[in-house]
Amino acid sequence: MSQQPSAAPAPATVTVARRRDWWRDAVIYQVYPRSFADSNGDGMGDLEGVRSRLPYLRDLGVDAVWLSPFYASPQADAGYDVADYRAVDPMFGNLLDADALIRDAHALGLRIIVDLVPNHSSDQHEWFKRALAEGPGSPSRDRYHFRPGKGENGELPPNDWESIFGGPAWTRVADGEWYLHLFAPEQPDFNWEHPAVGDEFRSILRFWLDMGVDGFRIDVAHGLVKAEGLPDLGGADQLKLLGNDVMPFFDQDGVHDVYRQWRHVLDEYAGERIFVAEAWTPTVERTANYVRPDELHQAFNFQYLSTDWDAKELRAVIDRTLEAMRPVGAPATWVLSNHDVTRHATRFANPPGLGTQIRTAGDRELGLRRARAATLLMLALPGSAYVYQGEELGLPDVVDLPDEVRQDPAYFRGAGQDGFRDGCRVPIPWTREGSSYGFGSGGSWLPQPASWGELSIEAQTGVAGSTLELYRGALRVRREQADLGAGDAVEWLRAPEGVLAFRRGEFVCVTNTSGESVTTPAYGRVLLASGELTEADGEAKLPADTTVWWTTA
């Protein structure tokens, strides 16, 4: 594996404030390491780059930082194909760099959450290489899903499952057997029925907990357990079923036994360490199963992320979410963007919506205006929220990347997803000018648009009305207002068509999703607004696509 220290450095001393149940109202910032900051000028972000920019995240006002994978990996899927879960890939640094990052974050009052990828490994993982070498019937093959094929000579896949990236979910090896990979062929799925797999991952959890991390984001948390016998889908349109129905390889009830065992491990450690699940489920009610008291702490609300910019639809998903989470005592976990979806500044400007093949940025002004309003709405809701790097700058997706620079494996598969994820992963701009706009001294692994400089942190810092200052203000107000953050209910107020209005104690949030100005009561003193508004005679005129925060105190 990668050349670096063979053992972890001494455990980090956690110095972050010990606020009980911090995760219930935390704002957590996702860092995509390869696109955040490059410390050595090779065009690729790294851990030392992240470490150098931690003061920026502290000043932004977030509570924790989630790092996408930095493990040793051939990078077939941007690090989500892990070859060694206890090593840092040389492109990102080494274990000493990880240790220093964790320590510095804690000294700044930030917690660190790391990605964990338990559904599959890299095909370069020692276990998988051994399984190939030892052949059919060997114990090593039982740690993955190896099967004989169908057909007269085993020339057909064992079942009709398709890869999420397009094409069959099975690849045939030289000895004739097939192995399962729900994603790229370089990402063989673990067999979680084998006890060695569970033993290994509990050990991996302890390795990083001993390093001082404060939690784990669980990749494909809904995918670990497959239905007994790996049954065919029977010709169903798999892409239409994804996220809309329970499938034989997703959201099986057996995953919850895994997480109950993991919770025992986490609870051995002081400091309220947490798990957050990436669990694409058909309903928020099924998502709630992952955050029962003896399982995980948070689960991303993808139903909310997938909702159009429409007051009626937003209110419905907010109500369903809060109702679903209340019986299990878990916080709602809101999110608008991440490394796998179109940024909401672009998504809200494109009528086709999430997951559609997007080839234009649409009306940038419209998308940004809606994105700003959507952010204030999200941060006003009860529970926790996640922010994806660059959204605080109002970054759009980069939709005109040349084919030759794209790296999303879905782009090359010819079917399934359309490979749009590279557009939201372009390195973020720090300065108006300079090599890669301050990302690093040696360019960037994906080309940045010429407009990046004016969207940079340097260009927006201290500028009244900028998106960056809006985020800073929103996170400051969220900390200051006792009625914001944790909770499980909102009091809806009467509002015009296309408008959401709710109260939380002395706090009031009003969001106008319509395409025209509306008049509402002026509920008190304005705390923050995503756009200009006018007030007179106890009334407020809200422009289209605007959110306003008031306090009645």
d(CA 97, CA 51): 8
Beta pairing partners, 366: none
C-beta atoms surrounding 503 within 10 Å: 17
d(CA 349, CA 527): 27
Would you call 199 a catalytic residue per the annotation? Answer: no
Is the separation of the CB atoms in 531 and 486 below 8 Å?
no
Would you call 219 a catalytic residue per the annotation? Answer: yes
Burial 437-473 (b: 16+ CB within 10 A, else e): bbbbeebbbbbbbeebbebbbbbbeeeeebbbebbbb
C-beta atoms surrounding 68 within 10 Å: 22
180 phi/psi in degrees, rounded to 5: -85, 135
d(CA 78, CA 116): 14
Strands 71-72 and 539-542: unpaired
Annotated catalytic residue within 126, 199, 253, 268: 268
Three-state SS at 115: strand
Is the separation of the CB atoms in 211 and 12 below 8 Å?
yes
Q: Is 278 exposed, middle or buried (0-12, 13-18, 19+ CB in 10 A)?
A: buried
Q: Which residue has the tokens 């400089």?
A: 453
Burial 290-306 (b: 16+ CB within 10 A, else e): bbbeebbbbbbbbbbbb
DSSP of 521-540, one letter per residue?
E--SEEEEESS--EEETTEE
Strands 215-218 and 111-116: parallel
Closest CA to 71 of 82, 57, 61: 82
Range list of β-strands (E), 382-506: 384-388, 491-492, 499-504
Q: Which residue has the tokens 């109260």?
A: 503
- Compute the half-sphere exposure of residue 517: CA atoms within 13 Å on the CB side of its CA: 11
Annotated catalytic residue within 81, 99, 189, 219: 219
Closest CA to 186 of 201, 171, 204, 167: 171
DSSP of 400-428, one letter per residue?
---GGG---GGGGSSSSS--GGGGG-SPP
d(CA 531, CA 543): 7
Active site residues: 219, 268
